[in-house]
């Protein structure tokens, strides 16, 4: 099967690698976003997908706008590909491109469609406290993740999973599901199923204000926000911005149980239940773990924190380094 692969970030890499190493597939070319300038040296950095393609000696095409780039459109048309595979490419494909390959364009999407259509499905499913997610392969159409579904795979979400953890897991699942999808599609063993638009939800691009922690929210809401938008959620401490990168709610977390690494807290929870303060106030400090903060509802353990210009550190190291004291208050980022 002749394939042109469209993808950009690390999430797309396992799928590309699977295709490159599979004897039944021939990756003719890779289409990815243009290199971006990053870091202190402002150097042009290739996308993770480009790095893999280059090392495999696969031609790489990087049009700024693929549907307007005559040279790339001509190459795509002349590729005579059986299928275009699209994994987190980052640009909308025109109907002209969708119509080119014989079997169509197959997308690997990081949610159980029709839920969480859009650019950030993994982040928003965590933010909303979902206990299960997965991968859907679909035949692309001109809409935003609205195409007919091909195959699905699901996985549970654990209490301490963050967006990075979940993306790594789903990327591997997506690679396996894509191979199965392509093989069955070629043999006409899949019947595409139309999505029920009435059940659709959306996962838009994350905005700067989505990162701001509001301590009047409940502990589980703050935890889901922190892990969903990892590692960028922000608060204010001693009049300086501070990132909270890992937390754990200590009360009933919507049916979750505290994981094994936090079971030592169980015998302390009865005493903590009497602690109270204003939202954002440190009500207790647990040796070896970190600060316990009062929220609008319930208590939140700050497991990992990143000060401006520094690397992330454990909650306990932050307590020691900052000499954090009970009654100190974390503020809302906008205050």
Work out the number of other CB atoms within 10 angstroms of the CB of residue 181: 23
Over residues 201-251, the pLDDT tens digits come to 999 999 999 999 999 999 999 999 999 999 999 999 999 999 999 999 986
- Which 3 state secondary structure label does DSSP give 306? strand
Annotated binding site for (6S)-5,6,7,8-tetrahydrofolate: 111-114
> Does position 252 have pLDDT exceeding 60, yes or no?
no
92: DSSP letter: P
- pLDDT band at residue 332, thresholds of 50, 70 and 90? confident
Q: Which residues are CB-neighbours of 107 under 8 A, at least 6 positions away?
A: 85, 86, 87, 137, 138, 139, 140, 145, 147
When mean pLDDT is compared across 105-119, 219-233, 256-270, 302-316, the lowest value belongs to: 256-270
> Does position 335 have pLDDT exceeding 90, yes or no?
no
Q: Which helix (H) or strand (E) holds 191?
A: none
Over residues 134-183, the pLDDT tens digits come to 999 999 999 999 999 999 999 999 999 999 999 999 999 999 999 999 99
- pLDDT band at residue 38, thresholds of 50, 70 and 90? confident
- pLDDT band at residue 264, thresholds of 50, 70 and 90? low
Cα–Cα distance measured from residue 264 to residue 247, given in angstroms and rounded to the nearest whole number: 16
Give the per-residue pLDDT at 243. 98
- Average pLDDT in the 116-128 region? 97
Over residues 51-68, the pLDDT tens digits come to 999 999 999 999 999 999
Give the per-residue pLDDT at 96. 97
Give the per-residue pLDDT at 296. 95
Give the per-residue pLDDT at 150. 98
When mean pLDDT is compared across 12-21, 139-148, 261-270, 294-303, the lowest value belongs to: 261-270
- What share of the chain in percent tops pLDDT 90? 86
Map out the domains of the chain as residue ranges: 2-199, 210-322
Q: Which residues are CB-neighbours of 68 under 8 A, at least 6 positions away?
A: none
CATH of 210-322 among 3.90.1150.10, 3.30.750.80, 3.30.70.100, 3.10.25.10: 3.10.25.10
Give the per-residue pLDDT at 276. 81
- pLDDT band at residue 39, thresholds of 50, 70 and 90? confident
Cα–Cα distance measured from residue 53 to residue 13, given in angstroms and rounded to the nearest whole number: 9
Query: Which CATH class for the 2-199 domain?
Result: alpha beta
Q: Which helix (H) or strand (E) holds 323?
A: none
Work out the number of other CB atoms within 10 angstroms of the CB of residue 180: 15
From the list 297, 215, 287, the residue with the least C-alpha distance to 254 is 297
Tell me which of 155 and 261 has the higher pLDDT. Answer: 155
- Average pLDDT in the 108-125 region? 98
Give the per-residue pLDDT at 255. 56
Cα–Cα distance measured from residue 80 to residue 200, given in angstroms and rounded to the nearest whole number: 34
Arithmetic mean of pLDDT over the chain: 93
Cα–Cα distance measured from residue 219 to residue 302, given in angstroms and rounded to the nearest whole number: 11
Give the per-residue pLDDT at 42. 81
Cα–Cα distance measured from residue 299 to residue 291, given in angstroms and rounded to the nearest whole number: 10
> Does position 271 have pLDDT exceeding 90, yes or no?
no
Annotated binding site: 111-114
215: DSSP letter: T
Cα–Cα distance measured from residue 221 to residue 129, given in angstroms and rounded to the nearest whole number: 8
Cα–Cα distance measured from residue 77 to residue 80, given in angstroms and rounded to the nearest whole number: 7
């Amino acid at each position: 099967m002749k394939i042109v692969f469209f993808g950009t970030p690390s999430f797309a890499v396992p799928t590309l690698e699977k295709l490159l190493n599979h004897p039944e597939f021939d990756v003719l070319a890779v289409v990815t976003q243009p290199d971006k300038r990053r870091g202190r040296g402002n150097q042009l950095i290739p996308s993770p997908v480009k790095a893999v393609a280059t090392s495999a000696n696969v031609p790489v095409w990087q049009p700024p706008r693929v549907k307007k780039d005559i040279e790339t459109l001509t190459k795509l048309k002349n590729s005579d590909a059986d299928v275009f595979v699209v994994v987190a490419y980052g640009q909308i494909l025109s109907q002209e491109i969708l119509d080119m390959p014989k079997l169509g364009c197959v997308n690997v999407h990081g949610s159980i469609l029709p839920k969480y259509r859009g650019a950030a499905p993994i982040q928003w499913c965590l933010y909303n406290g979902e206990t299960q997610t997965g991968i859907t392969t679909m035949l692309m159409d001109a809409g935003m993740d609205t195409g007919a579904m091909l195959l699905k795979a699901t996985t549970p979400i654990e209490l301490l999973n963050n967006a990075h953890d979940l993306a790594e897991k789903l990327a591997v699942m997506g690679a396996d599901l894509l191979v199965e999808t392509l093989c069955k599609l070629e043999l006409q063993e899949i019947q595409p199923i139309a999505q029920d638009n009435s059940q659709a939800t959306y996962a838009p691009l994350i905005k700067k204000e989505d990162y701001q922690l509001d301590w009047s929210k409940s502990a589980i809401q703050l935890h889901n926000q922190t892990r969903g938008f990892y590692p960028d959620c922000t608060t204010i401490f001693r009049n300086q911005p501070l990132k909270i990168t890992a937390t754990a709610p200590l009360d009933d977390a919507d049916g979750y149980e505290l994981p094994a690494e936090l079971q030592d807290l169980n015998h302390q929870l009865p005493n903590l239940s009497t602690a109270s303060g204003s939202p954002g106030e440190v009500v207790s400090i647990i040796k070896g773990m970190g600060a316990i903060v009062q929220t609008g509802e319930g208590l939140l353990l700050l497991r990992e924190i990143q000060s401006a210009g520094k690397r992330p550190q454990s909650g306990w190291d932050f307590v020691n380094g900052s000499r954090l004291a009970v009654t100190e208050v974390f503020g809302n980022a906008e205050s």
